[in-house]
Structure 1
Amino acid sequence: MGIELVIFIAAILFGIFLYWRESNGNGVYRFLNKMVNSKELQMSQDNPKGFVYKQSLLPRIIFVVTLVLVAALIVEFLTPIAVFNSYNGVSAFASFAVGTLFGTYIASFIISSSEVIEAQSGSIEDKLDDVVEKGKDFLEDLKNKDNKAVEEAKKEIENEPEKKMNEKSARERLKDKGLM
């Protein structure tokens, strides 16, 4: 189990490297496309698609498994290591294929998110500046509202003694009603 985990992590790193390498240039894929397809079916010059770069799931799986299978067959026949003779070899083969596939998707996510961040960086700064300015305005409004509320409360407190002086006492009101 330990060696499979190491193989899986190495395969993820290999998948990231494979995707990153193909995102910088797809010369091998373009050459193979020219060799296999007729002039009408060849990909355009501005198409960035590669074996794993900008490829859908099924062609990506086919390429990764074929690549790992060819590498395993080369190791099988040129070295004394028997890849397909035991469960451990087949398990390592499967771990490497799945890890490479995961690595390509991780690299795809990283490259896509970095492109989005670069595209949005200017607008994010503008939005952040707008938010800071609105926050400052809001705090100023709160301070002014608090000051207005305090001033109104002071006026009410100042006016209360005048109202009480103008009001009659309870005894005087009872006398006015004739109850006393």
Structure 2
Amino acid sequence: MTLELIVFIASILFGLLIYWRESNGNGMYRTFNKIINSKKLQMKPEDKTGFVYQQSFLIRLVSITFLFLIAIVIAQFLLPIDLAAISLFASMIVGTILGTYLAQLIFKSNEVIDEQSESLEGIVQETFEKGKDFIHDFKQKNLDKEIPKEELPKETPTDKEQKSARERLKDKGLL
């Protein structure tokens, strides 16, 4: 089980390496394309397609399986140890395909980030400007709402000057 896990992780890294390598250049795929196809069917010079780069799942599966079949046949002839167990073979294929899709995800996310970085910069700049305007408006409203100091009443009758309740009632004619 440990050997299978190690082979699986190594094959994921191998899949990442294959995908990255084919994204930079597809010379081997072009060579096979020229050998196999007629002049009319050969790929265009600007086409970046490779064995796993920009291919569908089925083509990737066939290419990677064929690659590992060749590697296992060579290993059987060179090494006297039987390393070509079916579980290791399956782990290598699944791990490599998983690695190619992981690499594709990384490349796509980098492209999206690069495309959105300019618009993201504009959005951040607009947000800063709106924030500055909001703070300026907020300060202006606070200054407008500031309450002026209330003036004290000019003449406040003191307790001595006020009439008593009895005197007020007499003035009204109630007493």
Regarding TM over 0.5, the answer is: yes
Give the equivalent residue in structure 2 for 1:165: none
Figure out how many residues of one structure are paired with residues of the other and give that number: 157
Distance 1:114 1:38 in 2: 36
Contact 1:83 1:90 in 2 (8 A): no
- Percent sequence identity over matched residues? 50
Aligned amino acid, residue 61 of structure 2: I
Report deviation, 1:129. 1.4
TM-score, with length taken from structure 1: 0.77
Give the equivalent residue in structure 1 for 2:139: 143
1:116 maps onto 2:95 in alignment:
no
Report deviation, 1:8. 0.9
Aligned amino acid, residue 123 of structure 1: S
Give the equivalent residue in structure 1 for 2:16: 16
Structure 1 gaps of 5+ residues are 162-179
Largest Rg, 1 or 2: 2
Spell out structure 1 runs of 4+ moving beyond 4 A.
none
Give the equivalent residue in structure 1 for 2:88: 92
Contact 1:13 1:100 in 2 (8 A): yes
Give the equivalent residue in structure 2 for 1:64: 64
1:127 maps onto 2:123 in alignment:
yes
Report deviation, 1:158. 5.0
TM-score, with length taken from structure 2: 0.79
Distance 1:6 1:139 in 2: 58
Q: In proportion to residue count, which structure has more helix? A: 1
Distance 2:141 2:6 in 1: 63
Report deviation, 1:49. 0.5
Aligned amino acid, residue 30 of structure 2: R
